[in-house]
Amino acid sequence: MTKDKYKNEFATATAQAFREAYPDIFAEVGEAEVFAGDVIYEGLAKPKDPSMGRFAFPVFRYVRLLKEKPPEIAAKVAAATAWANGTSEAVAGFLNARIDPVKQSEGVVSEVLTKGSHYGDSDEGRGLTNLVEYSSPNIAKPFGMGHLRSTIIGNSLRKIYRKLGYDAVGINYPGDWGTQFGKMIVAYRKWGDNTTLTGNAVKNLLTLYVRYHVEAEKDTTLDDQSREAFQQLEAGEAEAVKLWEAFKDISNAEMQRVYDLLGVKFDWVCSESDLNDKMEPAIERMKRAGLTSISQGALVVHLEDEQLPPVLLKKGDGATLYATRDLAGLIYRWGKYPEFNKSLYVVNTAQSDHFKQCLEVIAMLEEAERIPADKRMTSRVKHVDFGWVRFAGKTMSTRGGNTVLLEDVISEATDLARTKIAEKNPDLADAEATSHMIGIGAVIFSQLSVRRTRDVDFRWEEILTFEGETGPYLQYTHARLCSLQRRYGQDVSPDVDFKLLSGDEEQRVIELLADFPRVIADSGEQYEPYFITAHLLRLAGAFNKVYQRKDADGNIDKIISDNAPLTAARMALVKSVQMIINEGLHLLGLKAPKEM
């Protein structure tokens, strides 16, 4: 676990103070009971009122053990605390940490300026592999907004884990197999021709897919035809395979174009069809373990959790299913990346039961095979679920034909950004490239600016404003910080008088800079890029208070002034904030314009 430097120092000093204040009880109960630094570290919280200190530790839990009232305990321990970077203060039943502002300014700002984009790097993941599966769209369909959230969350997690020192493997698992392709083959044979596969071919295929479901409501034989077409595909029938490969090639090219537009990368593309030769060995392994049975002609695994339905491995006609491929994929990944640390599936919350079923099967398999607990994969696999994306309160559906295409959204966002730039800064150099940065950034940020388990309501009037909690607001703040550095026209150095950064507004900014490494670690531990978006917004807001502050005469207290030492100190803070916002945006998958 990545620990906050000052928090850890305070916890260690407080643990030692407890031992000194209560030596007899320490000798009796030992360190692990209450006096360990890790125990105190985990109990630290931030006071709601920042003026009360940086951290606070409640002593109420120790009343019974120490046989004293909370204020007495706090007073004794505070008096015994020796801490190089600050002081400990008893406030009622709390131990409050106050960090020396000059030491904090010097320590944090100097470290940021020295490490640059590597500030917040960690070696906690050294030698460990985290697999992150994300995006995973179905082929033969355009890339819709429904796929965006998985893509953006997973891409950010891959970046976060790499910063934390893990070997992070980004996996794309395109859906290119299953009965839906029987439907596509039938639809193409009935209503398509060679022109379908030219021009805007992916949209043409979507039109066929939607028409299939409309016609299937009237013609019940279509589903029988699609099952037969998929059986032909599984059997390797030449014409079915040729159509499927054409659908796949067209879709892959389109997907890559979208990924390039978003700046999204993968380390391994393993599609559903790549698991075709992995399914039978996985099924045989489950049979040998005694997990399978025949139910109404189908091969199933009955689960120990009675709240979950059985897992269907093969239909009565021998056709495999999505669960069959996911189980084979899990086993395959465990072999390809032996004893991975984590395997994350960034998939919509609608698939929660599916993943519970698959993990239950794997747990039963590992138990039946008597695999040692530390060699099992079950506890290392996590479904990283997320909520729906809605436009005007409506959930998107490919079958229903109300898919909102990602590229249309990006195009609209870019057009709006271009209009705003023309209004605010018509002479901006390379306005087109900046418009793309802002438009794409706004769309990405909209998906990460709420906790992943919540639904996202996509509203144009909210995501593209240069004020408030948006991507363009952060990008604009970054551009303003770059502009200040250009105006300063000198190298920014950590060799400044840090006493000049001891004001309340500056200290709030510096505290947030100090918190950045811990925020990154928390994002990785909780699979939650939202922590970074929220932190960057707090940092930008705190800095803007410094930027807009007024002096005693009511005039703006300018960052750059005739006071050279003060200007140098403030510019050290400016550059530090700019570097953290730049790195934070990078971890989220956004670009940081230097001008806007």
* pLDDT confidence of residue 234: 87
Q: State percent of the chain over pLDDT 70.
A: 96
DSSP string, 480-537: HHHHHHHHH-S---S-S-GGGG-SHHHHHHHHHHHHHHHHHHHHHHHT-THHHHHHHH
Distance CA 511, CA 528 (A): 21
Comparing CA positions, the residue from 503, 514, 499 lying closest to residue 569 is 499
Q: What percent of the chain has pLDDT over 90?
A: 76
- In 3D space, the residue among 537, 536, 514, 517 whose CA is nearest the CA of residue 525 turns out to be 517
Ramachandran bin of 405, using left for φ above 0, alpha for ψ from -120 to 50, beta for the remaining angles: beta
Confidence of residue 139 (pLDDT cuts 50, 70, 90): confident
Backbone torsions φ then ψ of 541, nearest 5 degrees:
-65, -40
8 A C-beta contact, residue 595 and residue 540: no
Phi/psi region, residue 318 (left: phi>0; alpha: psi -120 to 50; beta: rest), is: left
Residues with Cβ within 8 Å of residue 200, at least 6 apart in sequence: none
Give the chain's mean pLDDT. Answer: 92
For residue 365, give the nearest of 421, 448, 282, 300 by alpha carbon: 282
Task: Return the pLDDT at 541.
Answer: 96
Distances from the Cα of 583 to the Cα of 12, 112, 334, angstroms: 30, 11, 32
**Contact criterion met (CB below 8 Å) for 220 and 213:** no
Q: Is the pLDDT of residue 400 over 50?
A: no
As a whole number, mean pLDDT of residues 36-62 equals 89
Instruction: Give pLDDT tens digits for 444-483.
Output: 999 999 999 999 887 766 777 777 889 999 999 999 999 9
Alpha helices for 92-216 (secondary structure H): 101-115, 145-163, 179-191, 201-216
pLDDT level of residue 402 (50, 70, 90 thresholds)? low
Residue 370 to residues 290, 363, 366, Cα–Cα distance (Å)? 13, 11, 6
pLDDT of res. 33: 59
The torsion of the CA quartet 563, 568, 573, 575, rounded to 10 degrees, works out to: 130
The domains found in the chain, sorted by start residue, are: 5-99 (3.30.1360.70), 178-265 (no CATH), 407-588 (1.10.730.10)
**More confident site: 268 or 417:** 268
Weakest mean pLDDT among 131-135, 361-365, 394-398:
394-398
CA distance readout (Å), 447 to 161, 395, 451, 551, 588: 19, 15, 9, 39, 10
Amino acid identity, position 567:
T
Q: What is the per-residue DSSP string for 427-455?
A: T-TTHHHHHHHHHHHHHHHHHHSS-TTS-
Q: Is the pLDDT of residue 267 over 90?
A: yes
Query: Average of pLDDT values for 524-535?
Result: 98
Helix, strand, coil % in the chain, rounded to nearest 5: 60, 10, 30
How many CA atoms within 13 Å lie on the side-chain side of 316? 3
**Token output for 125:** 């993941």
Give the C-alpha separation, 432 to 418, whole Å.
7
Tell me what the mean pLDDT of segment 48-75 comes to. Answer: 91
Least confident among 21-30, 297-306, 366-375: 21-30
As a whole number of angstroms, the distance between CA 109 and CA 98 comes to 18
588 is written with which tokens?
Answer: 């989220």
45-59, 400-414, 446-460, 481-495: lowest mean pLDDT where? 400-414
Contact 507, 86 (CB under 8 A): no
What pLDDT score does 405 carry?
76
Q: Which helix (H) or strand (E) holds 285?
A: helix 276-288
How many whole angstroms separate alpha carbon 165 and alpha carbon 157?
A: 12
- As a whole number, mean pLDDT of residues 146-165 equals 95
Look up residue 185 and give its amino acid: I
pLDDT band at 392 (very low <50, low <70, confident <90, very high): low
At residue 98, the pLDDT reads 93
More confident residue, 544 or 139: 544
β pairing state of 311-314 and 292-295: unpaired
Identify the pLDDT of residue 320: 84
The alpha carbon of 520 is separated from its chain's Cα centroid by a whole number of angstroms, namely 10
- Residue 330's pLDDT is 96
User: Would you tell me how many other CB atoms lie within 10 Å of the CB of residue 486?
Assistant: 9
| Sheet strands side by side (includes 394-395) | 394-395, 389-391, 456-458
Q: What are phi and psi of 242, to 5 degrees?
A: -65, -45
Question: What confidence category does residue 292 fall into, taking pLDDT thresholds of 50, 70 and 90?
Answer: very high
> In this model, does residue 163 exceed pLDDT 70?
yes
- From 135-149, 180-194, 395-409, 460-474, the region with the lowest mean pLDDT: 395-409
Mind listing the pLDDT tens digit for each residue in 413-424?
Answer: 888 889 889 988
In this predicted structure, the answer to whether residue 32 has a pLDDT above a threshold of 60 is no
User: What's the whole-number mean pLDDT along residues 570-580?
Assistant: 98
Is pLDDT above 90 for 296? yes
| pLDDT-based confidence at residue 94 (cuts at 50, 70, 90) | very high
Retrieve residue 573's tokens: 């803070």
Confidence of residue 168 (pLDDT cuts 50, 70, 90): very high
Q: How does residue 36 score in pLDDT terms, banded at 50, 70 and 90?
A: confident
Q: List CB contacts of 80: < 8 A, sequence separation 6 or more.
A: 16, 17, 18, 20, 21
Mean pLDDT of 339-357: 96
Check residues 145 and 311 and name the one with the higher pLDDT.
311
pLDDT range class, residue 203, cuts 50, 70, 90: confident
Closest CA to 104 of 451, 408, 501, 540: 501
For 494-514, how does the pLDDT look when each residue is reduced to its tens digit (9 = 90+)?
Answer: 999 999 999 999 999 999 999
pLDDT digits (tens, 9 = 90+) for 309-338: 999 999 988 878 899 999 999 999 999 999
- Longest Cα–Cα distance in the chain: 88
Distance (Å, whole) CA 319 – CA 314: 5
Q: Quote the pLDDT of residue 243.
A: 95
Given this model, what pLDDT does residue 398 score? 47
Check pLDDT > 90 for residue 487: yes
- pLDDT band per the 50, 70, 90 thresholds, residue 128: very high
pLDDT at 298 over 50: yes
End-to-end CA distance of the chain: 38
pLDDT (average), residues 253-275: 94
